[in-house]
Amino acid sequence: MRIVITGASGQLGSELKDLLLYNTVYECYFLDRKQLPLDQIQIIQQILGMYQPDLIIHAGAYTAVDKAETDQVTTNLVNNLACEEIAQYCRVHNTKLIAISTDYVFDGSSASPLTEYATTNPINVYGQTKLAGELAIQKWHPEAIIIRTSWVYSSYGKNFVKTMCRLMTERDEVNVISDQIGSPTYAKDLALVILKVLDSVEWKAGIYHYSNEGEISWYDFAVAIRDFRSFDCEVRSIPTSAYPTPARRPMYSLLDKSKIRSTFGIQVPNWKVSLGTMLTEEFKDK
């Protein structure tokens, strides 16, 4: 099977590359923004045609949530219109598609874990464009698999865990929001889930949710990082109102993983276990 992975230099793309680069089962092509510029939608299908993939793992996205509020055109090109081009290519060429989406398609007003059937209502440009991309994929290629995830981190790239590690070595105290609730996702765990889906006997299209197990706040996450690394730093709890950002964030975005567990036999690690695994690795500054 020939596989194209988009967003190859991102957190998930980098973890997929680590797992797939030297495998002997799949013929993989890892395309970053230079090889597949998702904001240049007029050439996306032409580039994909050069590789003639049997399956595309679409991990590329515009993920600068605050910047997206002012860079709306580019955000829509990458998160929405590029998805449409990829889905159209897959439909015409009978190519399988796994696309990654986000908890930001929800407004954060729920009080219980969000299933795949929960009402979507994004409250920022990033979430709006990601939902539009989901709808485009479902319109043009309903046989696709869409995996929504949340709070992604990795030893690659920029993310909350690496930022906290840096700040806690530089400062005596850090302020972290305590009233946004969800669960983090270790990108390597998500990459392993994708491989599990690839290896499954039956392709079962649809939307699925995946994050690590557990329910925490960003404050809880920061405290765990500090304690694991034994940083001498006070973590102070603050409300969202004390840290205004250009883009609003969902206050509650805990994802229900029942569907992906039962459909593909996925074992979901607890967030603290996965955090410990990541923090024992060497950080890669990609």
Active site residues: 126
| Residue count of the chain | 286
Task: Find out whether 123 and 103 touch, Cβ atoms under 8 Å.
Answer: no
DSSP sequence for 63-81: --TTGGGT-HHHHHIIIII
Cα 280 to Cα 278: distance, rounded to the nearest angstrom: 5
Which H or E run includes 13? helix 11-20
What distance lies between CA 92 and its chain's CA centroid? Answer: 26
In this structure, the strands spanning 145-149 and 206-209 are: parallel
Non-local CB neighbours of 13 within 8 Å, separated by 6+ positions: 5, 6, 7, 30, 32, 59, 60
Which H or E run includes 221? helix 218-229
Long-range contacts of 37-40 (CB under 8 A, 24+ apart): 38/6, 38/62, 38/77, 38/78, 38/82, 39/74, 39/77, 39/78, 39/82
Task: Find out whether 216 and 178 touch, Cβ atoms under 8 Å.
Answer: no
Give the residue from 1, 30, 29, 24 showing the smallest Cα distance to 156.
30
